[in-house]
Amino acid sequence: MHQIVQAIILGVLIGGVYALMASGLTLVFGIMKVINVAQGALVILAAYLSYWLFSHLGIDPFLSILVVAPAMFVLGVAVQLVFVRSLRGPDASELSLLVTWALALGIEGVLSVFFKTTFRSTLPSYADRSWDVLGYNVGFVRVLAFGTSAVLLILLSLLLTRTRFGRAVRATVQNPTAATLLGVDANRVQTLSFGLGVSMAAAAGAVYGVIYPFNPGSHYDLISRLLSIVVLGGLGSLGGAVVAALAMGVIEAIVAVEISPIWASFSFFVVLITFLLVRPQGIFGLRERTL
Amino acid sequence: MTRNVVRLAALAGGGALLAAALTVSGSAATKAGPLKIGISLSLSGDFSDSGKAAQRGYKLWANVVNAKGGVLGRKVQLIVQDDTSSPTQAATNYQNFITKDKVDLVFGPFSTLLSAPSAAVANRYGYAFIEPAGGGPAVFKEKLHNVFFTQPAPVLQSADVFAKFLLSLPKSQRPKTAAYPSLDDPFASPIADRVRSLLEKAGVKTTYKTIYPSETTDMGPIIQKVAAGHPDAVIGGTQNNDAFAQVKAMVQQKFSPKFVFLTNGPNDPAEFPSKVGAKNVNGIFATGDWFPEAKSPGNAAFVAAYHKAYGAGAIDPTSAEAYAAGQVVQDVAAKTHSVDNKKVIATLHTGSWPTVEGVLRWNSIGEPQGSDLLVEWINGKLYPVYPSNVALHKPVVPKPAWGG
Amino acid sequence: MSRSAAVGVLRGGAFAAAGIAFPFVVHAAWIVNIGVLTLMYAALATAWNLFSGYSGYISLGQAAFFGLGAYTLGITFAHVGIGSGYNPFYALPLVGAGVALASLPVAWIALRTRHMTFAIVTLTLLFVTQQLAFNLHSITHGSSGLMLPTPSFDIADYDRPFYLAMFALLLLGLGACWLVLRSKLGLMLLAIREDEEKARGLGIRVTTAKLIAWWLSVAVSAMVGGVWAYYLTFIYPESAVDPLVMIGAVLMTFLGGRGTLWGPAIGAFLLVPVQQYMLTRLGASQLYLVGYAAVFMVVLLVLPRGIVPSLRDWIDRVRERQRTRRGPIVREEAHA
């Protein structure tokens, strides 16, 4: 029992970080029906940026979010303008899968030239600190990572519910045509939210680099998890992504201690497939319209 | 008139040049041109760091040997081809070397995973496959007669030296129980498995064993399970990162067993202390095939040449392994005055061969018959401690507490 | 037989004859080896096109079936012992049919979801398969890799049997595409690609049509994987289930033109030799992956429809122009 509770604590803490990564992915899908396969690679890119800032300039990885996230926002806007927007026609969504995949390969290639393929991790002085709470071991960095992710997710949802931009975004998600008729500049909304999605990946990447070692090839593992999370949560649903991410964290952690770590991520895929059998649209997803 | 003279002079000059060119090419033909060696290396992709380290070792050897006039009077010319860390491409590259470039010799790529299919290609065409980095069972399972692995022991047996060391201790000091958390990697868990079977036979009880996948980054739960059995020894088949993570988790959970042995990770003198904290390294064991301080044949010269060519940074053992492959060829040529593949294969199956990796001997399927070195962190430095004939320090047991 | 069918058969026959003759004329092993790789990608791309190109559902899981085919053949070798001559080739159809059959339930679940979810679920399948290859240690030998017996062919023409096997699979894929295109199934698939809801409304058995195409596509992919495994004699999880192999096949399909008969093969015939050449020339630059991504990006953004459709349009335009030159009446017709 003790082990299971410990596993749940770990799972929730990690799940929060995955939720942050997945939020950008599901937001972008909701608005422009584009799956950004490069989200994983962008997370890794941000992890490297934050690693570089830490090891060369001594900037704390959590503070480096303030630098990395805006920089990656600009990158996201550029990617949307150059690669994603130019896709037109009925296959645009499917083509975007492949274009962003190519982008992921490109990022991986560039990173392995600059940073080589050895695993890195950002290790601030407090990396090893941990608390014993009621006999449960809780890593300080994990709590900080979870807290940061939670704060950013709350900020994101406030942005979406309390601002003019947020209303425009939600209107576009619900009915793009009507939104345009009401004077929403769809192109602007798409570009800005793509940038926003990428900056979420960036923030998550800075956090990721502190908890996990990473190398340029790490994005494959990441993207397979992130995509499973957004599908399980329901494509386009922010709440669904959060619930699914926490579920993934907990399921994997429990399987890892109770059965074996080698079946941990496999178990999540099985849950996903089984769930889709019952509910093809995911937890909170609406049935996808024919595009 | 003057124009004619110029033309005549030009003609004469041209003729002289032509004659010179003819004699040059003629003399080159008698020497049979450069000694071409084909090597497929991972210059991009997953194995690219090690691939480039191997490339440095090969190049260094070629430069050193060419400065002395080459092999049998022929300049060594390395033909290096990127295989993008793909076995399909590695096999294709060797096929190209042999059937298109018609190279004289081939050397191995980095990683068993690429060496296994490549060795089969070389074998098909009767080429010797001298390889520095394909020591996993997959390579030897083929039972090829042309393979020669230029490290002291097959990778699978690389940690046997730790079992031998433990069993050499007086009974009171030996561990009675051990736990084995290992990475699912051909160069990790099978090694620990062998140590486990050796120790179990000697009466060391296994409290826990597990294999975790390479994407496991959280060692917390695993070490928790390890600690629950209170083993005297933790023996992990590891690569670098998971080894770091294991040690960090043990420190975090304040679990300090009497023996900690991790196959890889602690043997990286630069990375290990920076990843786990310099105060936490003492008493931790690992193995390795090569160390800069090792007293193997030609090692001091190799280390000096390396630093001269590539700067003062730490030397990846892979570079030494690749360099050793070159040394072997040099020795065969000196002994038999030939670099004919058939002769190379026959010759290498007899006798022993001095290299920076130690004095190497092979059995009929290319498994080296030596032993790796056991190394230990003592007072913040890494020393070979066993077998005693190569030890630079006495082993320290048991491991001091974390931070000690 | 209609005239266009006769032309098709003639064209196919000429292609088959030239392809079979090639390794009997050219004996340089390294050229035949590149031929094997080219045909491997051509067959994979054709198989991918067979389902994804015609139905419009992008499958990102093809590498999983390539890997399953490779492992199935490898494991059969290890546990049954089917010799090391031509026998493994005869076992291939069983491997292909079996893997494809086993994939049907998953496909059925995946096909209940729509395009984007489908793409993601198939991608997930790829990682699941790779993990199974790692974890089912007792039959796959996990990360240590699986060794197949060394093929017992004569060194002089060692690569030829593999070349012919890959070529046969390419012909099989092309034949299946050709038949599908000229059958009711082809019409059904095109209707699905255009508007699935409408197709369903018209009483087309949408799911059945998709599953048949899926089965054919998976069977060919798995057999290609089997031949590859036997050719290389050594497989491990990351090499057998390699997203890059699949992305290569998809890239070639897009380059040549998806939804066309010859497009994917033409894409492979162009790209594989170029890729080999580039590796030899620029090998040391470490920019292989970046270059690959760049080519992919350019194809998708500049030539999203592929060579074959673009070429066909161009030919049509030229013909149109020639016809319009003949007289003003035709021009008016063309405008109308």
- For every residue of A223-248, DSSP letters joined together read HHHHHHHHHHH-TT-HHHHHHHHHHH
Domain ranges of chain C: 14-241
- What pLDDT, on a 0 to 100 scale, did the predictor assign at position B137? 86
pLDDT digits (tens, 9 = 90+) for B71-93: 999 999 999 999 989 999 999 99
Q: Does the pLDDT value for residue B281 go beyond 90? A: yes
**Integer Rg of chain A from CA:** 19
**Integer Rg of chain B from CA:** 25
Q: Does the pLDDT value for residue B170 go beyond 70? A: yes
Do strands C146-147 and B205-212 pair parallel, antiparallel, or not at all (unpaired)?
unpaired
Question: Are residues B82 and C288, on separate chains, in Cβ contact within 8 Å?
Answer: yes
Residues of B in contact with A7 (CB under 8 A): 221
CB nearest C232 (choices: B48, B80, B88): B88
CB nearest A231 (choices: C120, C128, C291): C120
CB nearest C232 (choices: B45, B82, B117): B117
Confidence band of B19 (pLDDT split at 50, 70, 90): very low
Confidence band of B404 (pLDDT split at 50, 70, 90): low
CA distance A63 to chain B (A): 21
pLDDT digits (tens, 9 = 90+) for B108-157: 999 889 999 999 999 999 999 999 998 888 899 889 999 999 999 998 89
CB nearest C143 (choices: B81, B88, B184): B184
Domain ranges of chain A: 2-278
Residues of C in contact with A228 (CB under 8 A): 120, 124
For C59, nearest residue in chain A (alpha carbons): A94
Instruction: Please state, in angstroms and as integers, the Cα–Cα distance from residue B41 to each residue in A7, B51, B89, B139, C91, following that order.
Output: 42, 5, 10, 17, 34
CB nearest B218 (choices: A10, A116, A217): A10
Question: Are residues A265 and B244, on separate chains, in Cβ contact within 8 Å?
Answer: no
Rounded to whole angstroms, the Cα distance separating B66 from B58 reads 12
Q: By the 8 A CB rule, do A103 and A41 touch? A: yes
pLDDT digits (tens, 9 = 90+) for C216-241: 999 999 999 999 999 999 999 999 99
pLDDT digits (tens, 9 = 90+) for B193-219: 999 999 999 999 999 999 888 877 678
Paired residues of B206 in beta bridges: B178
Question: Are residues C30 and B96, on separate chains, in Cβ contact within 8 Å?
Answer: yes
CB nearest C109 (choices: A110, A262, A277): A277
For C158, nearest residue in chain B (alpha carbons): B124
- What pLDDT, on a 0 to 100 scale, did the predictor assign at position C1? 58
A117 at the C interface (CB within 8 A)?
no
Structure-model confidence comparison of residues C110 and B170, the more confident one: B170
- What pLDDT, on a 0 to 100 scale, did the predictor assign at position B395? 93
Q: Does the pLDDT value for residue B265 go beyond 80? A: yes
- What pLDDT, on a 0 to 100 scale, did the predictor assign at position C226? 96
CA distance B22 to chain C (A): 30
Overall average pLDDT of the C159-164 stretch: 95
Question: Are residues B44 and C288, on separate chains, in Cβ contact within 8 Å?
Answer: yes
Confidence band of C43 (pLDDT split at 50, 70, 90): very high
For C282, nearest residue in chain B (alpha carbons): B82
Whose tokens are 């429809």? That residue is: C305
Residue of B79, B96, B183, B239 to mutate, interface with C, max C Cβ within 10 Å? B96
- What pLDDT, on a 0 to 100 scale, did the predictor assign at position C327? 53
Q: Does the pLDDT value for residue B379 go beyond 70? A: yes
- What pLDDT, on a 0 to 100 scale, did the predictor assign at position B207? 95
Residues of C in contact with B48 (CB under 8 A): 286
- What pLDDT, on a 0 to 100 scale, did the predictor assign at position B107? 96
Domain ranges of chain B: 35-156+295-360, 159-288+372-386
User: pLDDT over 70 for what percent of chain B?
Assistant: 92
- What pLDDT, on a 0 to 100 scale, did the predictor assign at position B202? 92
A262 at the C interface (CB within 8 A)?
yes
pLDDT in 10s for each residue of chain A, 291 residues: 777 888 898 899 999 999 999 999 999 988 888 889 999 999 999 999 999 999 899 899 999 999 999 999 999 999 999 888 887 777 788 888 889 999 999 999 899 888 888 888 888 888 777 777 787 778 888 899 999 999 999 999 999 989 988 888 888 888 878 888 888 888 888 899 999 999 999 999 999 999 888 989 889 889 989 999 999 998 888 999 999 999 999 999 899 888 888 888 888 888 888 888 888 888 877 654 433
For B97, nearest residue in chain C (alpha carbons): C30
- What pLDDT, on a 0 to 100 scale, did the predictor assign at position B43? 87
Q: By the 8 A CB rule, do B140 and B364 touch? A: no
C292 at the A interface (CB within 8 A)?
yes
Overall average pLDDT of the C319-325 stretch: 81
Q: Does the pLDDT value for residue B6 go beyond 50? A: no
Q: Do domains B35-156+295-360 and B159-288+372-386 have the same CATH topology?
A: yes
Residues of C in contact with A32 (CB under 8 A): none
Rounded to whole angstroms, the Cα distance separating A102 from C298 reads 10
CA distance C211 to chain B (A): 31
A116 at the B interface (CB within 8 A)?
yes
**Joined tokens for residue B171:** 């009974």
Residues of C in contact with A33 (CB under 8 A): 116
Query: Which amino acid belongs to residue C273?
Result: P
Rounded to whole angstroms, the Cα distance separating C151 from C73 reads 13
Confidence band of C284 (pLDDT split at 50, 70, 90): low
Rounded to whole angstroms, the Cα distance separating A16 from A101 reads 25
Q: Does the pLDDT value for residue B29 go beyond 50? A: no
Q: How many residues does chain C have?
A: 336
* Enclosing H/E stretch for B385: strand B381-386
Residues of C in contact with A103 (CB under 8 A): 293, 297
Q: Does the pLDDT value for residue C328 go beyond 60? A: no
Q: Is B110 helix (H, G, I), strand (E, B) or coil?
A: strand
Q: Number of Cβ pairs closer than 8 Å across A and B?
A: 75
Whether the link from the prior residue into B398 is cis, omega within 30° of 0, is yes
- What pLDDT, on a 0 to 100 scale, did the predictor assign at position C283? 61
Q: Does the pLDDT value for residue C136 go beyond 50? A: yes
Structure-model confidence comparison of residues C4 and C32, the more confident one: C32
**Joined tokens for residue C8:** 């098709």
Helix segments in chain A, DSSP class H: 2-32, 39-57, 65-79, 92-115, 140-162, 164-174, 176-181, 186-211, 219-233, 238-258, 264-278
**Mean pLDDT over each residue of chain B, to the nearest integer:** 88
DSSP 8-state assignment for residue B282: T
Question: Are residues C289 and B45, on separate chains, in Cβ contact within 8 Å?
Answer: yes
Overall average pLDDT of the C170-179 stretch: 93
For the domain spanning B159-288+372-386, the CATH number is 3.40.50.2300
Overall average pLDDT of the C249-256 stretch: 92
Highest mean pLDDT among A110-114, A195-199, C116-120, C201-205: A195-199
Contacts of C among chains (3+ CB pairs under 8 A): A, B
Question: Are residues A288 and C115, on separate chains, in Cβ contact within 8 Å?
Answer: yes
Architecture of domain B35-156+295-360: 3-Layer(aba) Sandwich (3.40)
Confidence band of C329 (pLDDT split at 50, 70, 90): very low
Question: Are residues C234 and B116, on separate chains, in Cβ contact within 8 Å?
Answer: yes
**Mean pLDDT over each residue of chain C, to the nearest integer:** 87
CA distance B86 to chain A (A): 14
Could you tell me the pTM of the whole model?
0.88
Whose tokens are 């290990």? That residue is: B272
For B126, nearest residue in chain C (alpha carbons): C155
Instruction: Please state, in angstroms and as integers, the Cα–Cα distance from residue B144 to each residue in B141, B151, C38, C151, following that order.
Output: 8, 17, 29, 14
What sign does the dihedral C78-C80-C85-C88 (CA atoms) show?
negative
Highest mean pLDDT among C30-34, C139-143, C287-291: C30-34
A115 at the C interface (CB within 8 A)?
no
A261 at the C interface (CB within 8 A)?
no
Q: Does the pLDDT value for residue B17 go beyond 80? A: no
Domain A2-278 belongs in CATH node 1.10.3470: yes
Residue of C30, C141, C159, C292 to mutate, interface with B, max B Cβ within 10 Å? C30
Question: What does the DSSP assignment read for C54-89?
Answer: HH------HHHHHHHHHHHHHHHHHHH---SSSHHH
User: pLDDT over 90 for what percent of chain B?
Assistant: 63
Q: Does the pLDDT value for residue B335 go beyond 80? A: yes
CA distance A130 to chain B (A): 7
- What pLDDT, on a 0 to 100 scale, did the predictor assign at position B124? 93
pLDDT digits (tens, 9 = 90+) for B46-64: 888 889 999 999 999 999 9
Query: Which amino acid belongs to residue B171?
Result: K
ipTM, two decimals, is: 0.88
